[in-house]
Structure 1
């Protein structure tokens, strides 16, 4: 069982991640990541390190992803690592294109750091 204060910290990080998309600010979105984080985008190479991941999110935002809604179904683990399982909706408004939504599923590994809980590994893909 994950302590309430830990769950609140993860929820706050997920909210901050999403707020970055609403603001179009990749630095805000990347701020929830550990310095040594790795993301595993669908059909693409792994991206390592917060700075490279921030640039990745900047590109995603420029492509038209304007909003991300995340829903956590499970948060468990112990010690300095937790895993989160959930779903999300990406709201896409491509330049000159038709707005659309993409449903996703995800798994995140969280790491306790000196700066609090940070996203260490993040993998997601589309759901039908």
Structure 2
């Protein structure tokens, strides 16, 4: 990950670390808008964050492919009553037009008794930058932490 150390080690005038920081900021914005779309109940908006050839590997569900598959997946979660997605990036490293991110999530889901519970877990995302310079989720996998 490009850091302040990288900027300091070249006197603060390095173009490459500055570009890396811009990419990191752009990805952080995409993470925030993904979260906002989900929390607004906008499955199409969530799916728009994926590349056309995305591969999504949710827990206990067959692998999902592409934006249409992403929209169907997220529609299912939203329709089932999942709300209040909170994503936290733990690590992000950019390398050219690819980046990998590791993070944690919390989401409120129905508890089966008429209430809700908070599910928590971790995720790994491979981001790719398209020809227009937009960062998209290309590979997305997550799993839940044990309850308790």
What TM-score, normalized to structure 1? 0.93
Larger Rg: 2
Tell me the residue number matched to 2:31.
Answer: 14
Tell me the residue number matched to 2:109.
Answer: 92
What TM-score, normalized to structure 2? 0.81
The correspondence for 2:137, drawn from 90, 106, 119, is 119
The correspondence for 1:48, drawn from 49, 65, 72, is 65
- Which ranges of 4 or more aligned residues in structure 1 deviate by more than 4 Å? 93-96
Q: Aligned partners of 2:139, 2:41: CA distance in 1, in Å?
A: 22
Say what the alpha-carbon RMSD is for the aligned residues. Answer: 1.6
Q: 1:94 to 1:51 in 2, by over 3 A?
A: farther
TM-fit CA distance, 1:119:
0.4
Aligned residue pair count:
128
Q: From the two aligned structures, give the one with the greater strand fraction.
A: 1
The correspondence for 1:106, drawn from 123, 137, 140, is 123
Q: Aligned partners of 2:54, 2:140: CA distance in 1, in Å?
A: 8
Query: Does the 8 A contact of 2:24 with 2:94 survive in 1?
Result: no
Do residues 27 (structure 1) and 44 (structure 2) align? yes
